A and B are shown apart, each in its own frame.
Chain A
């Protein structure tokens, strides 16, 4: 700790009793935290704990429903991202905001370019010299005149930090900055964080990698379900204590779990690898089974599932469907092998939003049910769509309603119906209940259970711990592209799962 310990000073940024509600959801509830100049303060918590909502409030993207944000002891009055920037608050996002075709110097001074005598002409000489000065100060080997596109992801991040340094930023929020960096790049990033710290910047550091906390952070605030659970000084806490603060949520009673009878093997994956994304993934899934797949964002869950479905290439490995080796070069092949995929992003990859309920339901099955000469079987379409709307209790005025107007839960039921109509018996569900309300979730789980009891096989990816524990017969946990463990329903605990998902090696 420095001579003038931060604790003796006023916090530079203070969030007090912040609450944020979205229609139907409480995202933040009575959140308070203090951030000091010259301190690296980590925010940790499960996906959905409220970290990103909090930083969006601090950076002016959202306005809080309750509570206040204080800057240097006074009400901050931040209502837009621009105002936050003007007050010296910068966010370095996971996806970098670099203009690829501009030079490093142009990126660093974007929006604040030096002008010749304050006139309208760009002072390129000064801009390049100043940028180079900052880069040299940071001891990074980037040239101010280089085009940003040629830099590696890590170097681009350095440019973002250079931006922060030139702008005399007071607060830097780093949102999972290491998620796309190699070990070596991470250590050079940490050097820069140390420089920021020395300059008296308050750093808010969001990460899923708990080990990093002990390398660069001074404090850690643990969040869960929109609340702050605890704030620790890093010296006085262990990794396990942090994990146990992250969990401990009550199991909700809406997980309708029935006991299934595990049947024959439906799908087996052997050593599936995709360079740089996931490696040596091997597992089997059976009829009469819901196999849960848990992992933090970026662990590679979605990518593995998309590869099994033929939507993504693999560098090596084998897939077996009902014992026979299968090669899927496109989703069409996977669908022909009776596999269905419910994607995590309903709006982008799940639905034709402006098309009818009926058209969405029958899309993958049209070819199978076409009449001679490639004509549509309208009668079959109408009857089938009506049958499934009824069977799955989809709340829609008619099968000819535009699907955009339905609620999320009903949209999701339509997507499930789509694969049932296509006779899928292996279903991949990626975040199946994201963004749908509690009742709809319960109904959806019931449908999943019915599917499995009829001999189907479900692989469900979820970021919600209670959900994965509530619905799965078996849980695979992924971490950084590898399967880090497998747990049966009975041996799974929140603590155990989180440890597998977030702790570094040695478990």
Chain B
């Protein structure tokens, strides 16, 4: 009895996800089709990447609200770079656009990390500034209009599907989904299985102790922000690929969804605990709610209200459990 209770307390999020899926599945026929479920995974992809990066930063006790803008900046820059290589092979094209996004995202993350560790500016303010600057740069490099005429590699990444069969001649599994699973899996392994990952937890849990145990908390913070920037940039590339153009206004407000997913997944805003895998449950919940409500023709305005409420409930629940522990 008590074992079930403990499991439920730890995994309330999974139960919640199951209830949501069952609820939407029963009330809507389209929801439970495999086509919709694969759609769902590709809708989750961008938020999954952003949340995976944010998990590192939030475990450190920090935050990065620049991820949406960084995604947009990296998205348009990868489009601009892509335009310069119109005749590239698919593989070569993928390497080029992803490399350019990684550079842009990595630099943004490095900037955040340097300001935070070298000048002791609080992460919220640092990344607020970066958010504004990155968005501004996005409009500057695009001249305020969308970047069109992208090479085909973009459509492969954004809309391509693999594993064709009789009923689905275009393929079943979206490339986006596979790509995201691969990247998120690496981020999960890095955090949970490596010494670096353990140092992230230690630095977030008690920076003094980490420092006195020979860990360079600054380096850990710097690397985490770089990773977070890179994840945001990869998300931005996927958005551009899906839209088939580089929109300067893309990914607006995505940071909020990513933060919400991470927190829903049980990563403590106080730092020290959390996991990439669990953040994915948060990502799934938000995607399912959006998707389900879309299918039920609930307006997107109301969807925002609902998601906001759920975030609040998740944080209140987190606080209540902390209080009980202390």
Contact = CB atoms under 8 A, between A and B. Distances in A.
A242 to B, nearest CB: 38
A279 B199 CA distance: 35
Contact of B195 (A309, A354, A370, A418): A370
Nearest to B272: A354
Nearest to A333: B214
Contact of B198 (A336, A341, A366, A418): A366
A363 B210 contact: yes
A353 B326 CA distance: 11
A412 to B, nearest CB: 14
B270 to A, nearest CB: 9
Interface string B191-224: 0011111110110011011111111100000000
A370 B198 CA distance: 11
A350 interface: yes
Given A348-B208, A359-B198, A363-B202, A331 B193 contact: no
B273 interface: yes
A230 to B, nearest CB: 41
A366 B209 contact: no
Contact of B194 (A311, A348, A374): A374
A354 B194 CA distance: 20
B188 to A, nearest CB: 13
B193 A309 contact: no
B226 to A, nearest CB: 16
Interface string B309-326: 000000000000000010
B190 to A, nearest CB: 9
Given A354-B205, A359-B198, A349 B272 contact: no
Given A330-B216, A332-B216, A335-B213, A352 B206 contact: yes
Contact of B213 (A336, A354, A364, A370): A364
B193 A332 contact: no
A311 B213 contact: no
Given A331-B211, A332-B215, A351 B206 contact: yes
A376 B195 contact: yes
Nearest to A306: B212
Interface string A341-357: 10100001111111100
Contacts of B215: 332, 363-364
Interface residue range, chain A: 20 to 34
Interface in A296-344: 309, 311, 330-332, 335-336, 341, 343
B58 to A, nearest CB: 15
Contacts of B201: 355, 359
A310 to B, nearest CB: 9
Given A354-B273, A367-B195, A335 B214 contact: yes
B33 to A, nearest CB: 41
B196 A374 contact: yes
Q: Which of B201, B205, B216 has the most CB of A within 10 A?
A: B205
A375 interface: yes
Q: Which of A343, A354, A375 has the most CB of B within 10 A?
A: A354
Contacts of A309: 212
Interface string A177-210: 0000000000000000000000000000000000
A331 B201 CA distance: 19
Interface in A80-116: none
Given A351-B206, A363-B202, A311 B195 contact: no
Contacts of A348: 206, 208
A362 to B, nearest CB: 9
B193, B206, B216, most chain A CB atoms within 10 A: B206
A375 B195 CA distance: 6
Contact of B211 (A311, A351, A370, A375): A311
Contacts of A335: 213-214
A366 B202 CA distance: 11
Given A332-B215, A366-B198, A376-B198, A351 B209 contact: yes
B189 to A, nearest CB: 9
A352 B195 contact: no
A225 B263 CA distance: 49
A364 B205 contact: no
A343 B212 contact: yes
B275 to A, nearest CB: 14
B209 A352 contact: yes
Interface string B170-202: 000000000000000000000001111111011
Nearest to A334: B214
A363 B211 contact: no
Interface string A369-398: 010011110000000000000000000000
B212 A349 contact: yes
Contacts of B209: 349-352, 363
Query: Which of B195, B214, B273 has most chain A Cβ within 10 Å?
Result: B214
Contacts of A349: 206, 208-209, 212
A335 B206 CA distance: 18
A352 B272 CA distance: 9
Contacts of A352: 202, 205-206, 209-210, 272
Interface string B212-243: 11111000000000000000000000000000
Interface of A: 309, 311, 330-332, 335-336, 341, 343, 348-355, 359, 363-364, 366-367, 370, 373-376, 418
22 contacts: A311-B211, A330-B214, A332-B215, A343-B212, A348-B208, A349-B209, A351-B206, A352-B202, A352-B205, A352-B206, A353-B205, A355-B202, A359-B202, A364-B214, A364-B215, A366-B198, A366-B199, A367-B214, A374-B194, A375-B195, A376-B195, A376-B198
Interface of B: 193-199, 201-202, 205-206, 208-216, 272-273, 325
Given A335-B214, A352-B210, 6 more contacts: A341-B212, A350-B209, A353-B205, A364-B215, A376-B194, A418-B213
